[in-house]
Amino acid sequence: MNLDPLIRFYHELTPESVARFPEFYSADAWFKDPFNEVRGLPAIQRIFSHMFTQVDEPRFVVTEKVVDAGGAMLIWEFCFRVRLWGKGATQVMRGVSHLKFDGDGKVNYHRDYWDTGEELYMKLPGLGTLMRGLRRVLAA
């Protein structure tokens, strides 16, 4: 399976290109990440449209891919600026997307795995201090 067009879609994702999800995802595709679990293209498109209202300069970079007959894993970095923090430093979250495809080669299963504690909560003012302290206490 050639994942290059899908990877390019994610690399070039914009608020306008969210409308292109039907080119890559089946109408009843299932999507889950640490904050959402939805079925269907309109719901998936809402999640990605919402992302553009919450963060500045969001950008996905797929760094690796693993493909077999059962599906694919995309290892990625999500770069963004937190709107609430002003024009601060670019943040990077790392994760993996597990994808499965229908008979037409469209994504019908998309499950994102990423560590909300390390990749998000530890970076938040206030909560990050608490999380880092808890991490020090629990570390071996």
Residue 123 lies in a domain: no
| Three-class SS state of 137 | helix
Residue 68 lies in a domain: yes
The confidence score (pLDDT) of residue 73 equals: 98
Residue 19 lies in a domain: yes
Residue 137 lies in a domain: no
- Are 5 and 24 within 8 A, CB to CB? yes
Specify the CATH number for the domain of residue 85. Answer: 3.10.450.50
The predicted-structure confidence for 75-86, as pLDDT tens digits, reads as follows 999 998 876 656
pLDDT at 67 over 70: yes
For 37, 61, 82, 100, 109, the CA distances from 3, given in Å and listed in that order, are 23, 14, 30, 12, 15
Residue 133 lies in a domain: no
Confidence class for position 37, pLDDT limits 50, 70, 90: very high
pLDDT at 65 over 80: yes
Estimate to the nearest angstrom the gap between the alpha carbon of 34 and the chain centroid: 10
The confidence score (pLDDT) of residue 90 equals: 83
pLDDT at 132 over 70: no
The confidence score (pLDDT) of residue 131 equals: 55
The answer to whether the pTM exceeds 0.85 is: no
Its domain, for residue 79, covers 4-114
Compute the residue count for the chain.
Answer: 140
Residue 120 lies in a domain: no
Confidence class for position 1, pLDDT limits 50, 70, 90: confident
Residue 131 lies in a domain: no
The confidence score (pLDDT) of residue 130 equals: 58
Residue 55 lies in a domain: yes
- Give me the sign of the Cα torsion angle 60, 63, 67, 71: negative
The confidence score (pLDDT) of residue 114 equals: 87
Count of domains in the chain?
Answer: 1
- Which segment of 39-43, 87-91, 107-111, 129-133 scores lowest on mean pLDDT? 129-133
**Averaged confidence pLDDT in the chain:** 87
The predicted-structure confidence for 86-120, as pLDDT tens digits, reads as follows 666 788 889 999 999 999 999 999 999 987 665 55
